[in-house]
């Protein structure tokens, strides 16, 4: 698509329970971007290699996910929501938002999802060790990776507003080119 203008692609990532899907839905509804929930897509299109019973989750087939999303991402205009990011091609995204949550907020969110204790523990450790943030910083240009705290409804609304402002600025810059 060289020379063809497309709308922005935004990735919203973070440990499960940080509010990715809710924020992605807010951003999509307020900007006209298409929301792609990768977890749902994996289930709907069987983009996995079976289930990990220990963690009650699907074993992702990264190649199948990327193949499924290639044309959509090339066209632009997407807000992608997933708990990991290092396997997506760097060229797909114009902004990568890593959501963070305090452990005192995250833990009850995970419990309310009826996650098994080992899954809660793993996700809590991932958040403490900022695994997703580190993955994002290693996988994408520093200037497109933004870390946002997402503990409260007010923070989520502020984050949605910040992303909307970023998108308006991005779109304006694209028109000037």
Instruction: Say if 45 falls within a structural domain.
Output: no
Question: What residue numbers does the annotated binding site for ATP cover?
Answer: 17, 19-22, 113
Instruction: Say if 159 falls within a structural domain.
Output: yes
* Parent domain of 85: 16-40+76-170
Instruction: Say if 51 falls within a structural domain.
Output: no
Can you give the pTM of this predicted structure?
0.93
Instruction: Say if 146 falls within a structural domain.
Output: yes
What would the pLDDT profile of 137-171 be if each residue is shown by its tens digit?
999 999 999 999 999 999 999 999 999 999 999 99
Instruction: Say if 58 falls within a structural domain.
Output: no
CA distances from 146 to 35, 116, 136 (A): 19, 30, 9
Instruction: Say if 10 falls within a structural domain.
Output: no
CATH number of the domain that 147 lies in? Answer: 3.40.50.300
Specify the number of domains making up the chain: 1
Question: What residue numbers does the annotated binding site cover?
Answer: 17, 19-22, 113
CA distances from 134 to 13, 52, 145 (A): 12, 24, 10
């Amino acid at each position: 698509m060289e020379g063809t203008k497309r709308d922005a692609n935004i990735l919203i990532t973070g440990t499960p329970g940080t509010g990715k899907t809710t924020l992605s839905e807010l951003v999509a509804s307020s900007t006209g971007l298409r929301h792609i929930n990768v977890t749902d897509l994996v289930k709907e299109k069987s983009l996995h290699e079976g289930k990990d019973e220990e963690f009650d989750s699907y074993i992702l087939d990264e190649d199948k996910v990327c193949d499924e999303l290639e044309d959509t991402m090339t066209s632009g205009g997407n807000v992608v929501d997933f708990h990991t990011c290092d396997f997506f091609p760097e060229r797909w995204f114009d902004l990568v938002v890593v959501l963070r949550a305090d452990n005192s907020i995250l833990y009850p969110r995970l419990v309310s999802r009826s996650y098994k204790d080992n899954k809660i523990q793993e996700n809590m450790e991932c958040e403490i060790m900022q695994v997703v943030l580190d993955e994002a910083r290693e996988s994408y240009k520093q200037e497109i990776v933004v870390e946002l705290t997402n503990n409260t409804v007010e923070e989520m609304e502020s984050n949605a507003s910040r992303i909307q402002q970023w998108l308006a600025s991005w779109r304006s810059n694209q028109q000037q080119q």
